[in-house]
Amino acid sequence: MTRSPLPGWKYPTRNEYDPQQFFAHSFGIFAGDPAPVVHVVLRLNKKWSTYALTHRWHTTQRITVRPAEVMVELDVRVCPELEAWILGFGEDAEVIEPAGLRDTIASRVRRASARYAS
């Protein structure tokens, strides 16, 4: 029998808490957010093709390598970690869908660019 880490505390059953289900549409550590799951389409520069084909960012990801680009598709909730991941590709990434995420990333890139304008 396993001892509880706290007196009176009992680990929840799989029906009460399933970590795989809880994190299913999370990107990274942000979980439990009531934001809707969206279909994210990201276009990367072709130079990222090997990297994209050899990395697993999310269980729903789909990678399509085209002659001039790499398309990455995910079904996730938008969160700060997803935005940081996209921004990490710098000028080599473009959000195609959803429009709201595209606008957010574009705004963040403009603000970052303004810091270097002088």
Residues 53-66: pLDDT tens digits?
999 999 999 999 99
Residues 1-30: pLDDT tens digits?
556 567 787 777 776 666 665 555 566 555
pLDDT of residue 32: 58
- What's the CA gap between 60 and 62, in Å, rounded? 7
Rounded to an integer, the average pLDDT of 103-112 is: 96
Does 14 reside within a domain?
A: no
Does 15 reside within a domain?
A: no
Q: Give residue 90's domain range.
A: 33-115
pLDDT of residue 19: 61
The partner residues of 64 in beta bridges, in order of sequence, read 71
Does 22 reside within a domain?
A: no
Query: Hey, what amino acid is at 47?
Result: K
